[in-house]
Chains A and B, each alone.
Chain A
Amino acid sequence: MSASRSYDIVIIGSGAGGGTAAQELAPLVRDGVRILVLEKGPRFADQEFTGRELEMADALYQDGGAFLTRDGTMTLAFASAYGGSTVVYTGTSLTAPQRVIRAWGVPGLEHGDLTRRSAKYAEQNNVHLLDDPLINDNNRLFVEGGRKAGYLVEQFPVNVKGCRGSSLCNLGCPNQAKQGTNRVQLPRAERAGVEVVTRAEVLRIEPDRTMTVRVSQKAAGTKGAPSEWAPGDYQIRARIVVAAAGAIGTAALLLRSPLPAPRSLGHGFTCHPALILVAEHPRPITNDVGHPKSYFVDHGESERFVLETCMYFPFVTAKSLTGFGATHSAIMHAFPRLQMILILACDHAAPGNRIAVSRTGSPIVHYRFTPETIDGLVRGTRAAARIFFAAGARRVHAPADPPLLESTDANRLEERVTARHFRPGMLAVSAAHLMGGCGMGRSAADSVTDAWGRVHGIPWLRVADASLFPDSLEINPYLTIMGLADRVAEGVRRDLAVARD
């Protein structure tokens, strides 16, 4: 028999959305409001972030970072941990572009309001531009090459405090420098009396507001602390539920719950499909030391791509290169001379690209690359190659046949890099900005929630994560998620005040 417990507010997920909602609602604990955060992943101790690639990927990411779309042509990276994906991002902190929020056309969602709220979290999380001495050659060459090639290169504000430049952000910062919700919002919420339970997966939500929650046992030899609760199944009852389990987690949870959710639930999935490109310089550069992601070029509006500096680990780099064999090995053995650029395509919500669930309730992501998305990747690859060559690289490894572009190819990139080399299944496309599935909008006819994250027709259920985005954000999403979660928390406070009155 499962244990029963009841709370006033239950928040599902502890990432950018759930962590923010927990912090913003925490003052209510003083008034006797009982708040619970349920996190599927474990709570890691500081010393468990070793920076070892496969070990950390297995511990932090769903399927070790290899969650595949239904047709197997793209991997999706998302974390399960106290702090959610804020544990594994690089801390890049941008506010939503005005043109994107306008294009979303969500009644009641104003760009100014979102910007103001995002700014609050930028300040809270110590978002700032890194000083010059902390910038490594990999980033510096992007700036030099980008400007020479005629691109507007901008610096990423990042949310670090005491960054030592391990370059291991995506494996969880080993120095606790990144100011994710695991460092800022969740500890504050817990100090104020919010209860956080890890290793707790919500299996379904019933129409009577009862949740079936499974608390897992810590497996022998694995990382992370045991759950705060004894392993087993629980029935948790709540007056208000805030779903913030990430785009895939939230949509899948609502889909397997017997709720009268709007028909568009799961639809509108976008993800900024990304390719990693490398180039070889004639001399060693600093690349695997220093913050990896300090600059970007935004051509989202004009050409559907964004370029970002990046530096990944041996296996991720190896699988991202096109082809195999001697050429592939030669590039891998040139690691100390490699410059790296991440190309993100600004995809848009397309019919059929959606989150569904299997018969057993596991999430399934259907995604097909539209010609426009492929075009964004092709244009982005050409732009990255121009930047590499302008920065002095002697060759670029790209999806082409053969995959090595020599400097003599610099003037014929349109001919060498074409859409025929970007066929799905031929190259390693991955995505970490998972968005949509519970899009905001006017009514149940066109969306899942209103502009305050309240699910149409289910007033006690709100959504507070990137699944709210009705379309691609075209930039790194976490500050926007926090801004939206701030609005959700405000809505919950209003609901409780009305109930009290």
Chain B
Amino acid sequence: MRGNVYVPAMTLSSPVFRAVATCVVPEAGRLESAQWDEMEATVARAVAARPRAVQRQLALFLTVLEWFPLLRYARRLSRLDTARRTKFLERLQRSPSLLLRRGFWGVRTLILMGYYGRPAVAGEIGYRADTRGWEARR
């Protein structure tokens, strides 16, 4: 549990989550501890709002992600170097199995939500939308 939010085991703050996150968004590797906390809290909130069955599927998929590379590389995902991790995830993304493609798509979406949902990201990428619209640009 984090505060009032239920977080399934293996979802957050686990080596596999951060290992995938730094592949999906390479800049995440430069986040400071407080920024990781912010990103993971966003993901935790989103996960907590989903049905328990979905939360369990996510936890299971992250476990599969961690151990699956053992078959090919004799190492867990979180122990692979970035190049091999990226290659593995790219293969997963193109997998003939809808289950694997969909699982990776879900994890990728959560990571992107955590990273690009941070208010600070707007300044980093140059997104400048303002409720005042045109007036704010003059």
A257, chain B: closest CB distance, angstroms: 23
Chain B, Cβ-Cβ closest to A317: B116
B46 contacts A64, CB within 8 Å?
A: yes
User: Do B113 and A325 touch across chains, with their CB atoms under 8 A apart?
Assistant: no
- B94 — which chain A residues lie within 8 A by C-beta? 426
Interface string of B111-138 (1 = CB under 8 A from A): 0110111010110111111111111110
Contact between chains at A289 and B128 (CB < 8 Å): yes
Quick check: B122 and A166 within 8 Å, CB to CB? no
User: Is A326 part of the contact surface with B, judged by Cβ < 8 Å?
Assistant: yes
B89 within 8 Å of A by Cβ? yes
- Interface status of A372 (Cβ within 8 A of chain B): no
Closest Cβ–Cβ distance, residue A281 to chain B (whole Å): 13
A52 at the interface (CB under 8 A from B): yes
Q: Is B27 an interface residue (CB 8 A)?
A: yes
Within 8 A of A (CB), among B39-65: 42, 46, 49-50
A324 touches B89 (CB 8 A): yes
> 10 other contacts beyond A71-B102, A73-B102, A166-B133, with CB at 8 A cut-off?
A63-B49, A64-B49, A72-B105, A164-B134, A284-B126, A289-B133, A323-B90, A325-B26, A328-B24, A426-B94
The answer to whether B93 and A333 have CB atoms under 8 Å apart is no
Task: Give the residue of A167, A289, A319, A425 whose beta carbon is less than 8 angstroms from that of B98.
Answer: A425
A131-171 CB contacts (< 8 Å) to partner B: 134, 163-168
B106 in contact with A72 (CB, 8 Å): yes
Please, how many angstroms separate the alpha-carbon atoms of A51 and B25 in the complex? 24
> Which residues between 85 and 107 of chain B lie within 8 Å of chain A, taking CB atoms?
86, 89-90, 93-94, 98, 101-102, 105-106
Number of interface residues of A (CB under 8 A): 48
A424 to chain B, nearest CB (A): 7
Contact residues of A between 44 and 75, Cβ < 8 Å to B: 49-54, 58, 63-64, 66, 71-73
* Interface residue ranges, B against A (CB under 8 Å): 23-27, 42, 46, 49-50, 86, 89-90, 93-94, 98, 101-102, 105-106, 108-109, 112-113, 115-117, 119, 121-122, 124-137
* Interface, chain A (partner B; CB < 8 A): 49-54, 58, 63-64, 66, 71-73, 134, 163-168, 174-175, 284, 286, 288-290, 313-315, 317-319, 323-326, 328-329, 332-333, 335-336, 423-426, 428
Contact A324 B131 (CB under 8 A): no
Inter-chain contact A426/B112, CB cutoff 8 Å:
no
Q: Are B127 and A165 in contact (CB under 8 A)?
A: no
- Shortest CB distance B49–A (Å): 7
Complex partner residue of A314 from B93, B98, B127, CB under 8 angstroms = B127
Question: Do residues A336 and B130 form an inter-chain contact, with CB atoms below 8 A?
Answer: no
Asked if B131 and A175 make an inter-chain contact with CB atoms under 8 angstroms apart, the answer reads yes
A164→B101 contact, CB < 8 A: no
30 interchain pairs, CB-CB under 8 A: A52-B119, A64-B46, A66-B109, A164-B132, A164-B134, A164-B135, A166-B129, A166-B131, A168-B131, A175-B131, A289-B129, A290-B134, A313-B127, A314-B127, A315-B117, A318-B112, A318-B115, A324-B24, A324-B25, A324-B108, A326-B26, A329-B25, A332-B125, A333-B126, A335-B125, A336-B128, A425-B98, A425-B101, A426-B93, A426-B101
